[in-house]
A and B are shown apart, each in its own frame.
Chain A
Amino acid sequence: MLTGAQSMCEALVREDVRVIFGIPGGAIMPFYNALPGYRDRLHHVLCRHEQGAGHAAEGYARASGRVGVCIATSGPGATNLVTPIADAWMDSTPLVAITGQVSSALLGTDAFQETDIMGITIPITKHSYLVRDAREISKVFREAFHIASTGRPGPVLIDVTKDAQQARVEQASEDGENGAPIALEEGGRAPVCDGDRAAIQKAVALLVHAQKPLILAGNGVIQSSATAELLLFAERARIPVITTLHGKGALPENHPLSLGMPGMHGWVHVNRAIQECDVLFNIGGRFDDRVTGKASTFAPKATIIHVDIDASEIGKNVRAHVGIVGDAKRVLSAMLEEVILHEPRVATRAANTEWLAHIRELQERHQPHQAYVRRPNTNQLMPHDVYAALNRLLASSTHDGYRVVTDVGQHQMWAAQLIEWRHPRSHITSGGAGPMGFAVPAALGAALACPDETIWVIVGDGGFQMTNQELATIRQENVRNVKVCIVNNGYLGMVRQWQELFEDRVYSGTPLSGPCFRQLAEAYGIRGITVDRTGDVDAAFEYASEYDNSVVIDFRVEQEANVFPIVPQGKSIGEMITA
């Protein structure tokens, strides 16, 4: 006989969960009572806020590719998980969120700390469960992990009443205890993985006959570990590749076919390439509005091929001439087989070479004149100095095994632009939902997933002040590989930039003071450094890199630096402001 709480722990062990992030409370206490019995198999990380626990689980998932798990009590504990659940939903991050719920007899009575968390999260979860019967726990957990991690990954909520956690259950034979797998009801959503062969053949024919083909690689390529297939396909078909924010690392950015990032803060030559291309092949991206700008003017000359594991994405924002529902890895493998049949044609064609040369020429013409490269002639520490130094450090051969976790805002876009991304899952950021405060807890999760790597955090002073209490968790867990770089400009910088460019410099609600971050870090027992001179940046990074523990560096940068290029919201990506 097990309790429901023990059954929850057994299920987590069965799913090969090793780390869970959470905070206890009344309605989840039976689970926490059972947890010490699994101390050797389940490592619980006590976070300082449930939002931090959720983002930490996301960071763990994004770094490792495994399902992240967070746990909270009912009511406010559960509602504090809403932001990370929404974030996981938008960015297709596999996440299982477990919440305690008041006892079933109290459900619906406005009991203390009772909140209908399942109702609240229905629009932002792949699926959710309210478990009132302890006998269901084992099966529900099996289903939840399966749903979270298959097809298009995403968050699943499991709300377990306190009495279900306390009840005693026989382990049923279908619980997997005797080795028998639990039968899963796939319902209507068994993911389609292979893609339709005729559509794949059509897509390849379009691409090899194109004069100006372009590949747009998104999160799906990373999620399905299709980077090798993408590289082979792009090289075989000789097609240049652009990568979305979440596609960064799908193709190394030092590869001759890699062009960079499109969209609102994309390069001029990349957005021009989109507007000029005749066939656009989107593999695993969802045509987010930050990529497309005004969708009706996006890629006006292109035949669009869209591959996505989620059928509802095909044609959602941009019309697809060829839509293929399938897993990026499997579809790319099939396309690779097909493209080999066209090999003689591909090899003898000069069009692709001319096309790539044309884009590179655009790049040469625009890039030197753009503010993102042109550092102002000033003694003031610029954000660009921070990125240049980190980029040098990451590129150095002695520095392997790293992740870079960014928050949301200007610093995030500079990181996307100015760091040369080379490895899948090395770039961990929040894209779709954009919750400030993501970075520090997500880095905690990534650090536990990758204990032998260095986790660089780039965060603004605004986002840092939303979740910096997780420094206490980092300290308590003795996490030694998190290096936090605060790009501190004393503003909510991206909003200030929009106010400067589009709202007559009315800096409403954006000037931001803060504590001394060096002292704050030291108060948490973490080494803090302040850097306010350009000449000290490299030394600070060297120190942080060598120092055998977590560090916080406060880079006090020019306050009103802007992210360029920028496409004003709602405008065509052909209309870029470059300085």
Chain B
Amino acid sequence: MTHTLIALVRDRPAALNRAVSLFRRRGYTIQQLLIKRTEQPGVNRITVDVDAENIDQLVEQLRRLVDVLTVRKVTGDSTGDRSPFAGPHYWQADGANDHVED
């Protein structure tokens, strides 16, 4: 299915390259891609629609890129929050990624 991801990335020459390289490697095609300056100096926002099967793992792989500051998945589940600035340090040492299934 198609998912929409919003990522804040550092304004560096290879930042977009690194991100889309992950999509290519997984064989996921990009339906729409927008990269734009934000009002925050040195930070760009990538909005991407991608056909992906294992989107959660892709999101984690994006998050481990040094030039990627935050990633939000805004479709495909109940994340809901569309504001890319809701948490400039969304990925932080709060165990946000830990999960327990009962």
The 8 A CB mask of B36-77 against A (1 = contact, 0 = none) is 000000000000000000001100110111111111000000
Is B14 a contact partner of A128 (Cβ separation < 8 A)? yes
Is B17 a contact partner of A312 (Cβ separation < 8 A)? no
Residues of A within 8 A of B63 (CB): 188-189, 311-312
A316 at the interface (CB under 8 A from B): yes
What is the total of A-B residue contacts with beta carbons within 8 Å? Answer: 94
A195 in contact with B57 given A126-B66, A189-B63, A189-B65 (CB within 8 Å): no
Give the distance to chain A from B46, nearest Cβ to Cβ, in Å.
13
Q: Which of A65-73, A319-327, A516-524 lines the interface with chain B?
A: A319-327
A190 in contact with B93 given A119-B17, A123-B25, A147-B66 (CB within 8 Å): yes
Is B66 a contact partner of A324 (Cβ separation < 8 A)? no
A322 in contact with B100 given A188-B70, A311-B60, A315-B57 (CB within 8 Å): yes
Is B25 a contact partner of A187 (Cβ separation < 8 A)? no
Is B18 a contact partner of A122 (Cβ separation < 8 A)? yes
Is B17 a contact partner of A325 (Cβ separation < 8 A)? no
A122 in contact with B17 given A198-B100, A312-B63 (CB within 8 Å): yes
Give the distance to chain A from B77, nearest Cβ to Cβ, in Å.
15
B13 at the interface (CB under 8 A from A): yes
A342 at the interface (CB under 8 A from B): no
A118 at the interface (CB under 8 A from B): yes
Is B66 a contact partner of A315 (Cβ separation < 8 A)? no
Is A122 a contact partner of B93 (Cβ separation < 8 A)? no
Is A199 a contact partner of B99 (Cβ separation < 8 A)? yes
* A383 CA to B97 CA, complexed, in Å: 47
Q: Which residue of A lies closest to B22 (CB)?
A: A123
Q: Give the residues from 445 to 501 in chain A that come closer than 8 angstroms, CB to CB, to chain B.
A: none
Give the distance to chain B from A462, nearest Cβ to Cβ, in Å.
29
B83 at the interface (CB under 8 A from A): no
* A123 CA to B57 CA, complexed, in Å: 16
Residues of B within 8 A of A324 (CB): 98
The residue that B64 contacts in the complex, of A185, A195, A197, A311, with Cβ under 8 A, is: A311
Q: Which residue of B lies closest to A152 (CB)?
A: B64
Residues of B within 8 A of A190 (CB): 91-93
Is B95 a contact partner of A195 (Cβ separation < 8 A)? yes
A362 at the interface (CB under 8 A from B): no
Most buried by A among B10, B69, B91, B99: B99
Residues of B within 8 A of A119 (CB): 14, 17
Is A189 a contact partner of B91 (Cβ separation < 8 A)? yes
Interface size on A, residues (CB 8 A): 35
Is A322 a contact partner of B93 (Cβ separation < 8 A)? no
A310 at the interface (CB under 8 A from B): yes
Is A322 a contact partner of B97 (Cβ separation < 8 A)? no
The 8 A CB mask of A300-339 against B (1 = contact, 0 = none) is 0000000000111011100001111100000000000000
Is B98 a contact partner of A199 (Cβ separation < 8 A)? yes
Give the distance to chain A from B57, nearest Cβ to Cβ, in Å.
6
A130 at the interface (CB under 8 A from B): yes
Q: Which residue of A lies closest to B92 (CB)?
A: A190
Interface size on B, residues (CB 8 A): 32
Q: Which residue of B lies closest to A321 (CB)?
A: B101
* A310 CA to B62 CA, complexed, in Å: 12
Q: Give the residues from 111 to 155 in chain A that come closer than 8 angstroms, CB to CB, to chain B.
A: 118-119, 122-123, 126-128, 130, 147, 152
The residue that B57 contacts in the complex, of A185, A189, A194, A312, with Cβ under 8 A, is: A312
A177 at the interface (CB under 8 A from B): no
Is A194 a contact partner of B97 (Cβ separation < 8 A)? no
Is B95 a contact partner of A325 (Cβ separation < 8 A)? yes
* A130 CA to B15 CA, complexed, in Å: 13
Residues of B within 8 A of A198 (CB): 95, 98, 100
* A574 CA to B20 CA, complexed, in Å: 38
Q: Which residue of B lies closest to A200 (CB)?
A: B98
Give the distance to chain B from A282, nearest Cβ to Cβ, in Å.
15
A561 at the interface (CB under 8 A from B): no
Give the distance to chain B from A144, nearest Cβ to Cβ, in Å.
10
* A197 CA to B95 CA, complexed, in Å: 9
Give the distance to chain A from B67, nearest Cβ to Cβ, in Å.
6
* A79 CA to B14 CA, complexed, in Å: 19
* A312 CA to B60 CA, complexed, in Å: 5
Give the distance to chain B from A95, nearest Cβ to Cβ, in Å.
15
* A126 CA to B68 CA, complexed, in Å: 12
Is B95 a contact partner of A196 (Cβ separation < 8 A)? yes
Q: Give the residues from 2 to 50 in chain B that come closer than 8 angstroms, CB to CB, to chain A.
A: 10, 13-14, 17-18, 21-22, 25
Give the distance to chain A from B19, nearest Cβ to Cβ, in Å.
10
Residues of B within 8 A of A399 (CB): none
* A185 CA to B89 CA, complexed, in Å: 12
**Chain B interfacial positions (CB closer than 8 Å to A):** 10, 13-14, 17-18, 21-22, 25, 56-57, 60-61, 63-71, 89-93, 95, 97-101
List 26 A-B pairs, Cβ < 8 Å: A119-B14, A122-B17, A122-B18, A123-B21, A127-B65, A127-B66, A130-B13, A188-B65, A188-B70, A189-B66, A189-B68, A189-B91, A192-B95, A194-B93, A198-B98, A199-B98, A202-B100, A312-B57, A312-B64, A314-B60, A315-B56, A316-B57, A322-B100, A323-B100, A324-B98, A325-B95
- Given contacts A127-B67, A311-B64, could you give 11 more A-B pairs where the C-beta distance is less than 8 Å? A122-B14, A126-B64, A187-B69, A188-B63, A189-B65, A189-B68, A190-B91, A192-B93, A195-B95, A198-B100, A324-B98
